[in-house]
Structure 1
Amino acid sequence: MARRYHIVLIPGDGIGPEVTAAARRVLDVVGVFDIEEVEAGLAYYNRTGKPFPDDFLDRLRAADATLKGPLATPVGPSGYRSINVYIRQSLDLYANLRPCRGYQGISPRVFNMVIVRENTEGLYAGIEGVFRDQALAVKIVTRHGSERIIRFAFEYARANGFKRVTAVHKANILKLSDGLFLQVFREIAKEYPEIQSDDLIVDAAAYNMARTPEKLQVLVTMNLYGDILSDLAAGLAGSLGLCGSGQIGERYAVFEPVHGAGFDIAGKGIANPVAAIHAARLMMEYLAQKHSDPYLARAAKSLDKAIEATLVEDRVLTPDLGGNAKTMDVAENIAKRLAQLLEH
């Protein structure tokens, strides 16, 4: 009998409820998930005065994994702190895994790139202050944080057949903080002689991504750089709606699309659900590896093929990709393709 998994689903803000409903439709085909829906975000805050329920973290910790939509954070000073950062730091989700592919006939370039972003340190540690007319932010880089994200990147490359890992940094200017990250990278790279290792200064990395993305494989980097470069990768793929992500720690994991809340198109039923469905696929891969589940591993690979077939062969495309399909049209087509693959 197949193992069942308890999943927390956070619909989120803006288009979040639409794209997570699409992902849930696809997960239903796999048939091994018990899904508990938990509200959080701006809409919940506006209704209750709280960004999330009092037992929010307990519910996330009790689940096998969490799948969430985008949670918006208002710009500027306020009492509303980023829920995303709160989740990462509270659950110690140190690795932000952001694979992104360019599809034949859909994307401007065809590539298969993975950005592994350190998720708890750097400038996003949130240590800020004001002195007179000076605003200050502290960048935190530790040996421990560097070691575990770099090792995660090499282990991911080894497990998924990638032959090259590239460190992205600014150690030419930030000689101590980024210099520590680069030093640790070179030390750990020696433990993986079968994998090529090199490094790029972050501006050069952006140039190389735009010029020859097909030559890059796994990029490992610090928090801010990874945040920016993963959006660049999505732009190279043709849409933020194509790339999912996973935030992974030693005990817990949360998966989500890389895009934001998309308030301008919310409620229109035209949001691209592929990023959320890819996030669900990454969740399946994570659970399959963690629990040595061959059925879920096969289902994750089949889902990847179903997504590609829907985009490349069936051309079921939302407006961001030049089509006129609705969010659930894409989900239904992927679900049908997945069911066929699992049956055979």
Structure 2
Amino acid sequence: MIKIARIDGDGIGKEVTEAGVAVLESLDLNFDFYEAEAGRECFEKNGTTIPEETIKVAKNTKATLFGAISSTPGEKSPIIVLRQELDTYANLRPIKSFKGIDCLFNDLDFLIVRENTEGLYSGYETIDETKDKAIAQRVITKKASERISKLAFEEAISLKKESVTCVHKANVLKKTDGIFKESFYKVAQDYPNIKTNDYYVDATAMYLLIKPQEFDVIVTSNLFGDILSDASAGLVGGLGLAPSGNIGDKHGIFEPVHGSAPDIAGNNISNPIAMLLSVSMMLEYLNETYWAEKVKIACENVLEKGKVKTPDLGGNNKTMDVANEVIKEIENLI
């Protein structure tokens, strides 16, 4: 029995999580889902965006399937809390072009590896008594920088990629990004067969627009990775097709990159593909590589055929229509 924490969250998070669970339950595997709460609706109900019970549930399972949440002003972010509590120190964001999708580039297949526990998202913010000035601390440590760099090189080997690029701003952030860059090259010495280079984050943003094919694996800090990965999703069709995995040594959290989209919530027209690809990443993390590949290929086939698609891709189908079509494709593949 595979224990999975299920956190639907808010808005379309509920719809896409339902689709993800439907696909998982269609597989020849035994899952035990443990439901938990987080997000704005949770705050309105319980006075907290993420109860201790939710953290406990996530810690007692190997993987967490996370939908989407609406932000709650002045309150802590549930996903950031979970990442820190479970020490899922790496955020993996595959950027891939899909046949059947009209996008800027048709030949992209690279991975952004983002440090997930510190940087400007470390949570250390203060404001002075006059409320005229706020200060956020950017925390970068050698331990976290070396750990994320090592994972990036291991991912390059696993994906049969030739190069890893370190993205930083060490010319301005001399101490913090100095540590990040130095740690990257220290780890690189253990991987002599992998090509390495490094770019400033602003230059990387330009290169992603004009020559994204150059990249195999990108490793970077928390804020830079957050921005670059969302921007890169725009190269291949948008956030509705963008999965992600938060990976640690003991736990994994898997979520679509998009938000809770309250403007369309309840209409059941949200695109579940990002969630279903996140499900594939979760299965890979759980060493269920056979089923991970089947779910991934099924999603790709549904996108390429283009017969069943949600409004964001120019169709008129519902969320579960797409999920059911993916399930049919999986059945055809086995």
TM-score clears 0.5: yes
* Residue 317, structure 1, aligned to residue 305, structure 2: no
1:337 aligns with 2:300: no
Deviation at 1:261, TM superposition (A): 0.9
Tell me if 1:128 matches 2:125.
yes
Match of 1:56 among 30, 50, 54: 54
Worse-matched range after superposition: 50-59 or 136-145 = 50-59
In 1, distance between residues paired with 2:105 and 2:25? 32
8 Å CA contact retained: 1:239, 1:320: no
**C-alpha deviation, 1:242, in angstroms:** 0.5
Whichever residue aligns with residue 233 of structure 1, its letter is S
Aligned to 1:117: 114
- Find the aligned partners of 2:313 and 2:188 in 1 and give their Cα distance: 38
**1:239 Cα offset (Å):** 1.5
Deviation at 1:40, TM superposition (A): 2.0
Opposite residue 305 of structure 1, the aligned amino acid is I
2:64 alignment counterpart: 66
Aligned-partner Cα distance in 2 for 1:325–1:213? 32
> In structure 2, what is the equivalent of residue 96 of structure 1?
91
How far 1:190 sits from its partner (Å)? Answer: 1.7
Contact 2:99 2:300 (C-alpha < 8 Å) held by counterparts: no
* Structural mapping, 1:174-253, within 5 Å: 174-253=173-252
Aligned to 2:77: 82
Q: 1:22 aligns with which of 16, 19, 24?
A: 19
Q: Residue 104 of structure 2 aligns to which amino acid in structure 1?
A: P
Tell me if 1:153 matches 2:152. yes
Distance 2:193 2:243 in 1: 28
Q: CA 1:56–1:285 in 2, change beyond 3 Å: closer, same or farther? A: same
Contact 1:239–1:321, Cα closer than 8 Å, also in 2 = no
Identity in percent: 44
Deviation of residue 108 (structure 1)?
2.5
| Equivalent-residue separation in structure 1 for 2:161 and 2:134 (angstroms) | 42
Does the 8 Å CA contact 2:145/2:183 hold for their aligned counterparts?
yes
1:310–1:316 Cα contact (<8 Å) kept: yes
Give structure 2 stretches of 5+ with no counterpart.
Answer: none
Residue by residue over 1:228-251, the C-alpha shift from the partner in whole angstroms, topping out at 9 and shown as x without a partner, is 011101111111010111111121
Deviation at 1:252, TM superposition (A): 1.2
Asked whether the equivalents of residues 146 and 187 of structure 2 are also in contact (C-alpha less than 8 Å), the reply is yes
Q: Distance in 1 between matches of 2:232 and 2:9?
A: 23
Structure 1 unmatched runs, 5+: 289-295
Q: TM (normalized to structure 2)?
A: 0.95
Post-superposition shift, 1:74?
2.6
How far does the alpha carbon of each residue in 1:149-183 deviate from its partner, in whole angstroms, 9 at most, with x for none?
A: 00011111111211111111111111111111111
1:38-74: CA deviations, max 9, x gaps? 2222112212323234422221111121101012223
TM-score with structure 1 setting the length: 0.92
- Higher mean alpha-carbon deviation, 194-203 vs 47-56, is at 47-56
Deviation at 1:283, TM superposition (A): 0.5
Q: Is the 8 A contact 1:125 1:139 kept in 2?
A: yes
Q: 1:96-142: per-residue Cα shift (whole Å, max 9, x none)? A: 11112121330331211211100111110011112342211111111
Counterpart Cα distance in 1 of 2:289 and 2:71 = 34
Q: Aligned partner of 2:85: which letter?
A: S
| Rounded Cα–Cα distance in structure 2 between residues aligned with 1:189 and 1:52 | 38
Does structure 1 retain, via aligned residues, the 8 Å contact 2:6–2:64? yes
- Indicate conservation of the 8 Å contact 1:246/1:283, yes or no: yes
Name whichever of 200-209 and 124-133 sits farther off: 124-133
**Aligned partner of residue 11 in structure 1, secondary structure:** strand
Report the counterpart of residue 104 of structure 2 in structure 1.
108
Q: Which residue of 2 aligns with 1:47?
A: 45
CA distance in 2, matches of 1:204, 1:52: 37
| Residues paired across the two proteins, number | 329
